[in-house]
Amino acid sequence: MSRDSATETSALMTAADWLGGVFAAPPEAELVEAYAAPAGRDALARMGEWLNAREAARALDQALTREAPAALAVTLQRRYTALFEGIFPSSAVLPYESAWQPGADGTVLGGTPVTEMEATLRELDLHVSSECCEPADHLSIELAALAMALRDGQKRLARALIRRLQGWVPAFCAALSRRDSGGLYAAAGDLLLALIRESAAALEREEAPAAERFEGEFA
């Protein structure tokens, strides 16, 4: 792996970890303060540059600085609960793959996506913490798996995870855009779409030279 490729992979991993944290749980005040601090804002701007998503990064920056961190934490905790925990079904945007791909038997949560993700986690030697009560198809867990696959150079699994995310995240983010218009989570959804796009492109670029060499041998 070249230095440029290694740097790009590191940037994608960082973005996957950061976004996984945003969607994992209602944020504590300390985390919001870290996001809004100069170092946190600088890291967010760099992510926007790497992912070709400067507008999304700017929208996130604005959302993180419109209130003092302690007050913003309370606002985001309430918003997280309303959006992602299903308290108000009419406004919920459930962060589970199976919520966007109902099973043939009509079930909305669980089923094949959970089983498949559990198998992927085993391949990556990852385990969901006993403190986490979320199923394996939660967005934050899929992003953690993608970050690990990129970190370990597991390209087959990384590609498979990107395909999974491509299959349901666009609909999830479209719903976020409608129900959290102008909010932090809608902007995070835009950055998430950029992460998926750039991760797929990065893996394609790595495969291209090998494919070109293969074709040259039989020219």
Alpha helices in the chain (DSSP H): 3-24, 29-36, 38-50, 54-65, 69-84, 97-100, 112-123, 139-151, 155-179, 184-217
pLDDT at 104 over 90: no
- Look at 52 and 215; give whichever has higher pLDDT: 52
For the whole prediction, is pTM greater than 0.75?
yes
Quote the pLDDT of residue 74: 97
Q: Residue holding tokens 């218009």?
A: 181
Q: State yes or no: pLDDT of 211 exceeds 70.
A: no
Q: What is the mean pLDDT of residues 54-78?
A: 96
pLDDT computed for residue 207 by the predictor: 79
Q: What Å distances lie between residue 105 and 71, 102, 108, 109, 118, CA to CA? A: 44, 8, 9, 11, 21
* Pairwise CA distance, residues 15 & 13, whole Å: 5
